[in-house]
Amino acid sequence: MKSFIKHTMATVVGIFLTMTLFSFISIIAFVVMIASVDVNTPIKEKSILRINLSGSLSERSDANPFATLMGEEEEPLSLEDAMLALDKAAKNDNIIGVYIEGGTLDATPGMLQELRQAIVEFKESGKWVIAYGDSYSESSYYLSSAADSVLLNPEGNVDFSGLSSQVMFYKDVLEKVGVKMQVFKVGTYKSAVEPFICTEMSPANREQITSYLSSIWTNMLKDVAGSRNMEVSKLNSLADSMTMISEASMAVNGGLVDRLCYMDEVKSILQEKCGYKNNDKDLVFATVSDVAKSEILNEKAGDEVAVYYAYGEIVQSESGGLSISQEHQIVGEKMIKDLQELREDNDVKAVVIRVNSPGGSAFASEQIWREVCLLKEKKPVVISMGGMAASGGYYISCAANRIFAEPTTLTGSIGIFGMIPDISELMTKKIGLKFDVVNTNKMSDIGNMARPFNAAESAQMQKMINRGYDLFTKRVADGRGMAQDSVKMIAEGRVWTGEQGLSIGLVDELGNLDDAIVYAAKMAKVEKYHTAPYPAADNPFEQLMEQTKSGYLDSELRELLGDGYVAYSLLHNIKNIERVQARMPFELIIK
């Protein structure tokens, strides 16, 4: 009887496990099937391109294979898709205008400026743009101000209060748990280490933040003033008048918005734009994703200009780095392989590298720099800087034939630092561990977590950082055709905007990705060409595995911790950081 029960239970468990396995495989197969279907969606007549300004603006779209299954209507906004959608919408007769939904959008100033310019260029097609928001954050208003009409809910508000940059300091938190950061750096302005060794900004850091914030704000004011037909001085006065907490009518009286109306009134306005009388027809909206995936305009005609997207923190391998959560990374090993393939691909006549990175591993940056040099020997290489291309992001850019940047791109930050945690107090005093050691040489146990660096080890570490800085500045000098001493005068880890970088020789031309592509094609002497994005998106199975592994826990932590999630993730991942870094501050917050 016992044997019967045993075998019966084993059979039931086996059937259950088999059914579970088959269910999981079926889900994967279904997701792959959905993703493999032709995604080009025909655009209906009298469609309106809807751009939802909420969430975070990413460089590229990271498609979620579960999105369709879970009934999500639209993927988070990506700059790549939005730029492509606006370009196609201007040329597609079935799209009659653009409707922008205001909200709270998180994005770097350089990315916002590029997207805003695309909206302005769309208007040159003669089609209309209308923006409406229950409220507007500063980022979403900056974009929406390019519209023909800016509408606001009667109980809404517009955040137009100027820019602020906040730095979070971890020194006291670390000391409470017995951790100290051993820091080695070159560069007066290299502020990435300050949160770990200071409790307030250094004078040099405050100086550089003030400088680049002023440059960014000046550009934003100029753009808004041009679209709204206002004086910059009046906009600054409005920014000082607490528009965010004032009644909505103040935004109208001040000229920030054109009209106050409710959602039903907005619908009537859009129906009138479509030529519908008496609200007799429903509006037809097309998402950014749908329009971006609609018919291909260039049909792969002529030669190929490759556009390689390099965005996120720079790490040597996928297991390294200190990125917050599962954000995209520039993995040195992978990028080198990708660039090698582009170098050997005879169909590719030129390469535009789209860089949007705060930097990261100095070692990985040097390896990528080398591959860019080899690529340049065979075909033109042009850099298009996005929101930021600083420190390691500038390192991998400086060897290119030409560098384009937005006026508000954050760049420069030419400096090196090393940061190694000293957890000896945590281990010996807080936890109570004891250690003993036998060495054959003076530095046999260098890096021993049970003790801090001694004077000799610290001196050697600083020498290594100095060598890294000297190499970095030499790479910049060689790439930019400058004397190394001249580079060091504008280096010191200082962050510049693209506009400032142009004046000091770090940037060749102010322009967007399209400008960089046109220049690359000209360098390659090709008149008829098409573009192709690299690297290719992960297949649905890889996306599923990655999101299954990390997505749920990450989303739960974000929900639980709110603004504290950044600090938690940074401290949690501190062990993953590569010892020598060429990067901007770990979390740059501009609001």
Number of residues written out for the chain: 591
* Conformation bin of residue 562: beta by default, left when phi > 0, alpha when psi is -120 to 50: left
> Which residue is listed with tokens 């693209």?
498
Residue 110 CA to chain centroid, in angstroms?
10
391 is known as an active-site residue: yes
Q: What share of the chain is helix, strand, coil (3-state, %, to 5)?
A: 45, 20, 35
- Terminal CA-CA length for the chain: 72
**Host H or E run for residue 330:** strand 329-331
Instruction: Single out the residue of 60, 98, 101, 67 nearest to residue 81, CA to CA.
Output: 60
Residue 454 vs residues 34, 48, 193, 522, 538: alpha-carbon distances, Å = 59, 66, 20, 56, 46
- Using the 8-state DSSP alphabet, how is residue 78 labeled? B
Among the options 391, 397, 413, 569, which is catalytic?
391
Instruction: Single out the residue of 357, 344, 362 nearest to residue 412, CA to CA.
Output: 357
Q: Distance between CA 186 and CA 469 in Å, rounded?
A: 7
Among the options 190, 273, 349, 488, which is catalytic?
190
190 is known as an active-site residue: yes
Q: Tokens standing for 548? A: 């299954």
Instruction: Single out the residue of 232, 236, 186, 191 nearest to residue 209, CA to CA.
Output: 191
Quickly list DSSP for 280-295. Answer: -S--EEEEHHHHHTSS
Q: Which residues pair with 529 in a beta bridge?
A: 303
Q: Distance between CA 320 and CA 312 in Å, rounded?
A: 13
How many beta carbons lie within 10 A of that of residue 315, not counting itself? Answer: 25
> Which residue is listed with tokens 């390294």?
320
Longest distance between any two alpha carbons in the chain, whole Å: 92
Instruction: Single out the residue of 262, 326, 289 nearest to residue 61, CA to CA.
Output: 289
Q: Distance between CA 485 and CA 492 in Å, rounded?
A: 11
Instruction: Single out the residue of 304, 266, 298 nearest to residue 285, CA to CA.
Output: 266
Provide the annotated active-site residues: 190, 391
